[in-house]
Amino acid sequence: MQQGIEAEVQKERLLSEIQAKKIQENQKNTLDANEKMKSLNDLRFALLQKEEEILRQKAIHQALMKRGVDYLAEMELGHAPPRELIEKNIKINPEELSMDFI
């Protein structure tokens, strides 16, 4: 009888250890998934920032191309204002920042 009670106690202890281990594993998996999601969100944000910069550069390039080849040649020869100054003064239309090149 005593042996049966001890076996039952060991069984209960083993079950609670298994449950605790399972809970720990679930919590670890949840934390890992959350970290992975955060990492992917950070990467997505960085890619969106790069995409916005590329679209902005594309809009600037198109605006400069509209001014003509002669203007671009004058810029290269140094007879026009510096490119940085020109880029600051170019008004970019939000529709030009579309992803029509995809």
How far apart are the C-alpha atoms of 25 and 75, rounded to whole Å? Answer: 63
- Residue 88 resides in a domain: yes
How far apart are the C-alpha atoms of 33 and 41, rounded to whole Å? Answer: 12
- Residue 51 resides in a domain: yes
How far apart are the C-alpha atoms of 68 and 79, rounded to whole Å? Answer: 15
Q: Note the pLDDT tens digit of each residue in 15-34.
A: 999 999 999 999 999 999 99
Tally of structural domains, the chain: 1
- Residue 53 resides in a domain: yes
- Residue 21 resides in a domain: yes
Range of the domain at 17: 2-97
How far apart are the C-alpha atoms of 71 and 85, rounded to whole Å? Answer: 15
- Residue 102 resides in a domain: no
Q: Note the pLDDT tens digit of each residue in 71-92.
A: 888 888 888 888 888 888 787 7
